[in-house]
Amino acid sequence: MRYLPLAFDLVDRPCLLVGGGSIATRKARLLHKAGARLLVVAPDITDELAQLVVDSGGEYFPAIYESPFLDRAEMVIAATSDEVVNARVSADARALRLPVNVVDSPQLCTFTVPAIVERGPLSIGISSGGAAPVLARGIRAQLEALLSPAVASLAELAAGVRDKVKEALPEPQRKDFWQWVFTGPVATKVESGRPEEGRQQLLEALESWRGSPEPSGEVYLVGGGPGDPDLLTFRALRLMQQADVVLYDRLVSSQVLELVRRDAERIYVGKKKEFHSVPQDDINQLLVDLARQGKKVLRLKGGDPFIFGRGGEEIDRLADARIPFQVVPGITAASGCSTYAGIPLTHRDHAQSVRFITGHLKQGELVLPWSELASPGQTLVFYMGLTGIDTICSKLAAHGLPTDTPAALVEKGTTPEQRVVVGNLETLPDLARAGGVEAPALAIVGGVVSLHEKLQWFR
């Protein structure tokens, strides 16, 4: 590590900025935001820069740079288009042991200005030491997306009660308490726009922590989407990094599971055809038991928890047990797989409605309102449709859908192993067998399937 990340307190500190163009103006915005008093040397400056100087209580010197301008400075930034002037500023500042930055010339710098993510009092700097500033900005954009805007409110809340917490708890317990605040129900309330409720809960919890260091746990019911990790929500990613233990099912892709906190305990509770590794009632109770141990429990499901995911049953049990929980929706398989297959679920020329149906056989039978499903002008999406594909196609044809109605199976949708088999009600079952289609696979029936060949984009 060549550059040591540091944070400067620049409030009312004189900072010399050499240059008056657009680059100098950008640097001045940062310095002004940090509370610095701007001293600017340049023959001409932008109107915005002139205003920043006034607002900061600083001073503008309409002149060519000379070394005496450094006498009043505590930090120096050179942002001119003249390499000779920039090099001279650097040499003069170094001679006086002043920290100096020369824009786009890391060899002339004693410090670099990182790409900054700011959330109120919280700031994060990403620096490449001048080697790859565009890469640093790209990483900043990723962090901007991951961090909730409410982090600023959470930091401000913590600042307001910091002394109370310090007085109430010894150091080791205090660390655990703050961890609970920033990852538990207090943070949830702040993030949902209820900071005062969060503050009240924090103060109430602080009183209970005086006598007991163990907080209650919480359950995160998170939709992992259809497989592609890029389809996860930012909130899902944040909670996946906070969990102490994760319960996951068979439809969660390995790429998504890889994003869970590395030291979290992992418990597989998936279900396969004719084999249930853990009965649903046991899963419900396990969530309660783990939360009562004070753990942050991630219940990670493929797709969306509330669409054929039995998420409602799980949080119903949590509510009965008075366990705090939150639910994060995911992109359901119907939407993700159809999109990656180039099959729009609705289209003015083909379908004015769409229906999601479970294709799961119960005791070898698929009992559905076939007459309703065989109506024209709609798209039918069968979850877990591979096992019952013969029944699905024959029943729809028997109840009035033409046998040449387009139909498709999307295997392992949105993943690099995605495969799309397209036929119609008459041919699809045989095509599936001949092609060796395997679960998980989604069946789509309707005129929109005919658009696959033209609209497919994912390879």
Residue range 344-373, pLDDT digits in tens: 999 999 999 999 999 876 556 788 999 999
pLDDT of residue 364: 61
Closest CA to 439 of 403, 416, 409: 409
In terms of domains, do 441 and 361 share one?
yes
Residue numbers belonging to the annotated binding site for S-adenosyl-L-methionine:
226, 302-304, 307, 332-333, 384, 413
- For 380, the enclosing helix (H) or strand (E) is strand 378-383
In terms of domains, do 377 and 413 share one?
yes
**CATH number (domain holding residue 387):** 3.30.950.10
- Helix, strand, coil proportions of the chain in percent (round to 5)? 40, 20, 40
SS3 311: helix
In terms of domains, do 356 and 424 share one?
yes
Contact predicate 97/85, CB 8 Å: no
Residue numbers belonging to the annotated binding site for NAD(+):
22-23, 43-44
In terms of domains, do 341 and 300 share one?
no
Any residues with CB less than 8 A from the CB of 32 and at least 6 apart, and which? Answer: 38, 52, 55, 56
pLDDT of residue 271: 67
In terms of domains, do 362 and 339 share one?
yes
List Cα–Cα distances, 124 to 34, 140, 155, in angstroms: 14, 9, 13
pLDDT of residue 212: 64
Contact predicate 269/247, CB 8 Å: yes
- Beta-bridge partners for 328: 222
> Cα(167)–Cα(160) distance, rounded to whole angstroms?
13
Mean pLDDT by runs of 10 across the 459 residues of the chain is 84 97 96 96 97 97 97 97 96 97 93 87 84 87 81 91 91 81 86 91 89 72 96 92 92 94 91 66 95 92 94 96 94 97 96 91 77 95 93 95 97 95 97 94 97 93
Residue 372 lies in a domain: yes
Residue 133 lies in a domain: no
> Cα(339)–Cα(459) distance, rounded to whole angstroms?
12
Any residues with CB less than 8 A from the CB of 133 and at least 6 apart, and which? Answer: 115
Q: What are the tokens at 85?
A: 């002037």
Please identify, among 301, 328, 355, the residue that sits at the C-terminal boundary of a domain. 328
271 is an active site residue: yes
Any residues with CB less than 8 A from the CB of 259 and at least 6 apart, and which? Answer: 229, 232, 237, 240, 241
Pairing of strands 441-445, 406-411: antiparallel
In terms of domains, do 187 and 252 share one?
no
Choosing from 82, 176, 271, 289, the catalytic residue is 271
Provide the domain count of the chain: 4
In terms of domains, do 376 and 408 share one?
yes
Choosing from 92, 249, 296, 412, the catalytic residue is 249
Residue 385 lies in a domain: yes
Closest CA to 311 of 324, 295, 328: 328
In terms of domains, do 350 and 422 share one?
yes
pLDDT of residue 311: 94
Residue 35 lies in a domain: yes
Please identify, among 168, 196, 211, the residue that sits at the C-terminal boundary of a domain. 211
Question: What percentage of the chain has pLDDT greater than the value 90?
Answer: 72
Residue 92 lies in a domain: yes
Contact predicate 449/343, CB 8 Å: yes
In terms of domains, do 345 and 236 share one?
no
Closest CA to 102 of 80, 71, 135, 124: 80
pLDDT of residue 438: 94
> Cα(280)–Cα(380) distance, rounded to whole angstroms?
27
Residue 5 lies in a domain: no
CA angle 24, 28, 34 (to 5 degrees): 155
Please identify, among 289, 312, 328, the residue that sits at the C-terminal boundary of a domain. 328
Q: What are the tokens at 416?
A: 């690099």
In terms of domains, do 156 and 250 share one?
no
Residue numbers belonging to the annotated binding site:
22-23, 43-44, 226, 302-304, 307, 332-333, 384, 413
Residue 238 lies in a domain: yes
Residue range 431-448, pLDDT digits in tens: 999 999 999 999 999 999
pLDDT of residue 14: 97
**CATH number (domain holding residue 84):** 3.40.50.720
Residue 3 lies in a domain: no
Q: Is the pTM of this model over 0.75?
A: no
Chain-centre distance for alpha carbon 307: 21
**What residue has token string 């680059």?**
23
Contact predicate 20/81, CB 8 Å: no
In terms of domains, do 364 and 303 share one?
no
pLDDT of residue 277: 67
**How many other C-beta atoms lie within 10 A of the C-beta of residue 391?**
18
pLDDT of residue 133: 83
Residue 181: give the domain boundaries.
151-211
**CATH number (domain holding residue 250):** 3.40.1010.10
In terms of domains, do 183 and 226 share one?
no
